Structure 1
Amino acid sequence: MAQSLPTRELNALRGLFDKVQFSADEVVALDYRVIRRLPGVGPKGIENIRHWLEAQGLYPENWPHNGSAAHRSRHHSRIEAAIRLLEDHGYEVVPPAPRP
């Protein structure tokens, strides 16, 4: 069953479970934070794992809907925090001019 995963994700999950064979049920039961910290697996790899699970008819409930969306949300929060900091210190933050 795990053969349809790309090699990088397959090997990362094998290392996590410390066994060669594992089931999609074992993977879907993992917390997203565990998946996110797999060595060598980034946002694209997480999406590969998600698509593999969905192909098995499993939908991880404890994972964000889209890993890259979670990154964008964190990035947006940091930008908002930076803007607040600048405004708190008397700076005026204006939106960028539209591109031609």
Structure 2
Amino acid sequence: MTATHALKSARRSIAALNPAQALLDQESFQAEIRERPLSSVELSQARTEIEEICHLASGVSAGILSALSLIKELRSLSRGCDVYGKDGKRLSCGPVAGEARKF
């Protein structure tokens, strides 16, 4: 695998939310550039791929943070509310007595 192929694979792995494969791709890239210096064309391609990876990773992390924030907000809104099951019995959607729930 060439260095630029390793970076392209890393970008695809990040897009697929596969950090284990992205790490393997990173290691392949590092091994390739230790073996043989990049040509100016390869260096330019690598730079473009790295910029894409950074852009993609920031988008993924922002999406995850937004989802976590929404989950936290929903949990805070539901604390101590009254919810009734199909059988008419009251269900608690807040913390259960004696059980600390962590978010």
Instruction: Specify if TM > 0.5.
Output: no
* Greater C-alpha radius of gyration: 2
TM-score of the superposed pair, with normalisation by structure 2: 0.36
TM-score of the superposed pair, with normalisation by structure 1: 0.37
| Higher helix content, 1 or 2 | 2
